[in-house]
Amino acid sequence: MNKKLIIIGGTNIDIVGTPLKDHKLALDTSNIGNVLISVGGVGKNIAYNLRLLEGNVNNNSLFYFITSFGNSPISYLAKNNLEELKIDYFASNKIDNAPIYLAINNNNNDLFVSLCDNKAISSLDRNFFENDIKLDELIKKDNIKYMILDGNLSLETISYLIEKYYYILNIIVEGVSIFKVIKFKDFLDKIYLLKCNNIEIIELYKELSGSNNCELDSSEILKILAEKYRLKNAIVTNKAENILVINDFKTYKVNIPKNNIVGENEVVSSNGVGDSLLSAFVYNYVYLNNSYEEALIKATSYSKEVLLSDFTYPVDYLNNFLNK
């Protein structure tokens, strides 16, 4: 069976430390706590969740994942994580550093400070796509129609990929953060779909308008993006509130069903929830040919399971996948 899409983005080795509840976090000394090592990254989270949604019915994933996890002893964790789910991937290992996200939480389990070594993703450059994996050949061989880009990619790489492929591929982008979503500001008319949150869409508009202030609400911003900047499709989340969308240049709200909403006191972790929602939307919209709105509602049901999980994916889906 031919591949349906290509996902291009980052993979991180996440190292997160949290002090024990009865040991107040102290600076300039050693603290007793729990340290968790896992594999994350926006691109990887999207690929991982999409593979879980596909289920363990094919020998390999119905997509290619193109990423980088360096040439470091710890990089084997990322490789094993992808191979466990039989994800078809290409990885650059030109840079010795593994992409590591190092975080220390406070006693309330909230982030206190973090460092991110993301040099590895810089190896996903034009030379890599033209010579190392020969992207044109992959697209042609499987007649691929969709490409998902992670905002962590460099502006040069984003520009190269969008300008070269927008006329033959539907390009979906994950904004990631207020600092990274603006990388897409000059390509809105070439993007098939922009996924971001309410804060990010406001920052994107500020950048486009050249103003530090914004008196417009997000629905008004989306109308401007659709009409003036020709952004065809968008998904803008705002925690448990209704989702704002552009669908074929038309703007409206999609009500999240009450059964798909998780109360603030019920949330276990919000890490990766936006990535999981995009994965589930793509699965329902591209794979199952559901309508735009139906795919989005089903995506909120899936992302609810992630909010109730300690991980960036629903554990039940992983267990079902591995036990088949």
Question: What is the 3-class SS of 152-213, one letter each residue?
Answer: CCCHHHHHHHHHHHCCCCEEEEECCCCCCHHHHHHHHHHCCEEEEEHHHHHHHHHHHHCCCC
Per-residue confidence at 74, pLDDT binned at 50, 70, 90? Answer: confident
Asked whether residue 324 carries a pLDDT value surpassing 80, the answer given is no
DSSP class of residue 118 equals -
Q: Could you give the C-alpha distances from 148 to 94, 114, 166, 173, in angstroms and in order?
A: 23, 27, 11, 6
Ordered structural domains, the chain, with CATH: 5-9+41-96+124-174+256-323 (3.40.1190.20)
Question: For the segment 212-225, what is each residue's pLDDT rounded down to a tens digit?
Answer: 877 888 999 999 99
Q: Which residue has the tokens 């705002």?
A: 238
Residue 89 has φ and ψ, to the nearest 5°, of -135, 155
Helix, strand, coil percentages in the chain from 3-state DSSP, rounded to 5: 40, 25, 35
User: Cα separation of 109 and 112, whole Å?
Assistant: 9
Give the chain's mean pLDDT.
91
Which ranges of the chain would DSSP assign to H, the alpha helix? 42-54, 76-84, 126-127, 135-142, 155-165, 198-209, 218-227, 273-282, 292-307, 315-323
Question: For the segment 98-131, what is each residue's pLDDT rounded down to a tens digit?
Answer: 888 888 888 877 778 888 887 888 999 999 999 9
Question: For the segment 179-236, what is each residue's pLDDT rounded down to a tens digit?
Answer: 999 999 999 999 999 999 999 999 999 999 888 877 888 999 999 999 999 999 999 9
What confidence score (pLDDT) does residue 151 get? 94
